[in-house]
Structure 1
Amino acid sequence: MRNLKKLAKAFSERFDYLVLTKSPNLAYAVGMPDALGLVLELSTGRATLYVSRLDYARAKATAPVDKIVALASTELPPRRPGEELEIASSFLDVAKRLQGRVASDSKELGVDVSTELLDLRSVKEEWELELMREALKITERAFLRLGEMRLVGLRERDVAALVYKWFMEEGADGVAFDPIVASGPNGAFPHYRFGDRKITQGDLVVVDIGAKKDVYCSDMTRTLLMGNPGPVLKDAVYAVYEAVKAAEKAVREGAPAADVDKAARDVLGEYGFANYFIHSTGHGVGVEVHEPPRLYATSKEVLKRGQVITIEPGVYIDGVGGVRIEDMVYVAEGGVVLNRVPHLL
């Protein structure tokens, strides 16, 4: 039943009910992020999922819960035979009727346990890891195809369109985020998307993409070289490559997240690029593409076995371009890099 048993075990000693309302938590619990809400009776493990009438039949067919209830503000049209329908203005109104100790991801409904939910979500079961591996394989196959193509002359949006197409052809269940295809000077913008600029000879092209499998995300970046980018960016490529390797070497169960960040930052400093690394070294991945833990200089978090994190140092030089390399790493006794595609394409 997805992660319902794990959730019941985590909260049953302190609460009578767990009520979930946020899409990522609903995805984690039952694989249905577009549901309206979930009520988990913690003493019995009995789960009731509330959905719109539009989603009732789909939820009945797919959601691993004990009961499905459709919510509507009025009974129009009349309920169908066998349809469990509740008339209410919102799920919040239904959940507020619960009697007892309520834990929730909404402060309006009970004790806010959002942080605990994020901590639970950060440690992956084997079946979750397998879905993430499948998502990453789809993402890597797209990178291999890009590496075999002549991209010079294509617009950034043309490359993004190919990524969407290949993901669907390869069996992805969606994208974890809109593709980033940042060529030439656009590579200096870490969260650029894509535009009409044509890729030219000598460009570096930062491509950051991630397929989804089921509700689980992947996240990967490679910087593609369109010939010789010039001495500064060429040095930046090797600096980022070395920073990735150093940070991955620092990953292990019990390692402070700040230490992993420092490992990457120190290498970039040695190459003279310390001031051009303007974001954290990485983050957790799961049903959301950005989850705890966060790997940054002042983080107090400690890595836990079972977490999946990214390692993604970068260099960004305004008006010139940028470099980023990003791997997904499983935290165990050491860091297990999940990627198989080379860092340099």
Structure 2
Amino acid sequence: MKDRLRGMQQSLKRFNIDAMLVNKPENRRYLSGFTGTAGSLMIDNNKAYLFTDFRYVEQAKEQSPDFTLVQIGNDYYQKVLHLLQQRGLKKIGFETDFVTHESFAKLQQELSGIQLFPVKNITEELRLVKDMEEQQLLQKAVDIVDQAWSEILSIAKPGMTEEKLALELEFIMRRKGAEGRAFDFIVASGERGALPHGVASQKEMKPGELVTIDCGAVYNGYHSDMTRNFMLGKPNQKQQDIYNIVLEAQMAGVEAVRPGVPAATVDLAARNVIERHGYAQNFGHGTGHGVGLAIHEGPRVSFNEQLVLQPGMVLTIEPGIYLPGWGGVRIEDIVLVTESGGRVLTKTPKNQLPVI
């Protein structure tokens, strides 16, 4: 945590502010280790404070030893102002993408004499590159999904609803150590596979349908994300062909992951394959996204993302083809950027379309 705190303190100089207020839960956790649901950080060049109420005092002491704990009731703003005045701090940043207009108006009203500066992505930029501890936690979250996939294939069958399958999958992940699901699972069978975010419904899966599952686990705050497909019966030629095209595109995207290239280069590698096969209009989302304390974070892997990949970044590669009235296919792995290229953390096989 000390390295993360130092990183934030160095960023203050770059943003030309005296201190930063941090309220977004994943940013608060990243910088302090505090997992309580109510709290705020104030970080300046030399000191770091954690504000929380009576419920979380002992937890904060244990989880955030590098922070000075300030217990609050209804006097949060008064205590922040007192510390700012005491330390002679005038220019204070706040998270412009998280603080609501109402909260900002309250800050302006209560922090009299303090200059408030909207700051975007100051913590998120630090979170782009995962340290070794974060990489290990992400691998554990990935492993849980890998282990659950083999079990869910033995449970899935025609006549089962998508919701039932999603629920069984979540139960399996929790038994294997997940603290929760990373998002509402996508289980899209048959024609519903054309919905990129076809959250599990009450539709019954039928023989001859291709099923797409997009799922993830949370382990110690870190998220995994994987998409795989299976057939309820032998695939027809079109189902196999579409699967093979998406697989080719996904592997091309993974192969393009390496340090020093813009994220857009990875997107283009996958997108070119799908375009070459004539399905450019049926792949309308980015090829991937970063993953960590949030299920979607930087870097974006899209056609216009010029952020250069660095070792330690972790991202998904998930191209797809979606055909209204027919269905769809998406294949997704989590990939770690290393000094020599991309290392796929996801181990669930993908080279063959599973048949149930």
User: What's the TM-score bracket when you normalise by the shorter of the two chains?
Assistant: 0.7 to 0.9
Letter in 1 for 2:26: P
Matched, 1:337 2:337: no
Aligned equivalents of 1:21, 1:144: Cα separation in 2: 39
Instruction: Find the aligned partners of 1:294 and 1:33 in 2 and give their Cα distance.
Output: 28
In structure 2, C-alpha distance between the alignment counterparts of 1:111 and 1:340, rounded to whole Å: 44
Deviation at residue 96 of structure 1 after TM alignment: 4.6
The match for 1:104 is 94
Aligned match of 1:77 = none
Asked if 1:36 is matched to 2:43, the reply is no
**Contact persistence 1:26–1:33 (CA under 8 A):** no
In the other structure, the counterpart of 1:209 is 215
Do the aligned residues in 2 keep the contact of 1:151 with 1:199 (CA within 8 Å)? Answer: yes
Contact 1:15 1:42 (8 Å CA) reproduced: no
Q: CA separation in 2, counterparts of 1:40 and 1:194?
A: 42
1:336: how far off? 1.1
* Partner Cα separation in structure 1 for residue 223 and residue 77 of structure 2: 29
Gaps of 5+ in 2: 108-115
Match of 1:18 in 2: 20
Aligned length: 327
Quick check: 1:225 aligned with 2:195? no
Runs of 4+ in 1 over 6 A off after TM superposition: none
Q: Distance in 2 between matches of 1:64 and 1:137?
A: 30
Correspondence list, 1:128-167, <5 A: 128-167=134-173
Displacement, 1:92?
Answer: 5.0
TM-score (norm 1): 0.88
Aligned to 1:72, the other structure's residue is in SS state coil
Q: Separation in 1 of the partners of 2:293 and 2:30?
A: 6
Amino acid at match of 2:123: L
Give, in whole Å, the separation in 2 of the partners of 1:317 and 1:96.
Answer: 56
Distance 1:166 1:5 in 2: 39
Equivalents in 2 of 1:265, 1:275: separation in Å?
10
Instruction: Tell me the CA shift for residue 182 of structure 1.
Output: 1.1
Note the 1:280-319 alignment, pairs <5 A.
Answer: 280-319=286-325
* Distance in structure 1 (CA, Å) of the matches to 2:321 and 2:94: 40
Q: Contact 2:267 / 2:303 at 8 angstroms: preserved in 1?
A: yes
Contact 2:156 2:165 (C-alpha < 8 Å) held by counterparts? no
Tell whether the 8 Å contact from 1:25 to 1:33 is kept in structure 2 after alignment. no
8 Å contact kept, 1:183–1:205 = yes
Structure 1: distance between partners of 2:343 and 2:145: 18
5+ residue gaps, structure 1: 74-87
Counterpart in the other structure of 2:73 = 72
> What are the within-5 Å matches in structure 2 for residues 160-309 of structure 1?
160-309=166-315
User: What aligned pairs does 1:51-90 form with structure 2 within 5 A after superposition?
Assistant: 51-73=52-74, 88=75
Displacement after TM superposition at 1:219 (Å):
0.9
* Distance (Å, rounded) in 1 between the aligned partners of 2:221 and 2:65: 14
Identity among equivalent positions (%) equals 36
What amino acid maps onto 2:40 in structure 1?
A: G
| Alpha-carbon contact 1:37-1:51 (below 8 Å) kept | yes
Q: Distance in 2 between matches of 1:208 and 1:96?
A: 46
State the Cα distance separating 1:37 from its structure 2 match: 0.6
Give CA-to-partner distance per residue, 1:223-243, whole Å, 9 cap, x none: 122223433232110000000
Higher deviation after alignment, 55-64 or 291-300: 55-64
Letter in 2 for 1:237: Y
Stretch moving more, 272-281 or 33-42: 33-42
Q: Which amino acid aligns with 1:36?
A: G
Q: 1:95 aligns with which of 76, 80, 89?
A: 80
> CA-to-partner distance for each residue in 1:121-162, whole Å, 9 max, x for gaps?
111101011000001101111111122334222111111111
| Paired residues of 1:180 and 1:208 also in contact (CA < 8 A) | yes
Paired residues of 1:187 and 1:206 also in contact (CA < 8 A): yes
Whether the 8 Å contact between 1:283 and 1:295 is mirrored in structure 2 is: yes
Distance in 1 of aligned mates of 2:43 and 2:149: 41
Superposed CA offset, 1:206-250 (max 9, x none): 111111111111111111222234332321100000001111111
Q: Which secondary structure does the structure 1 equivalent of 2:212 belong to?
A: strand
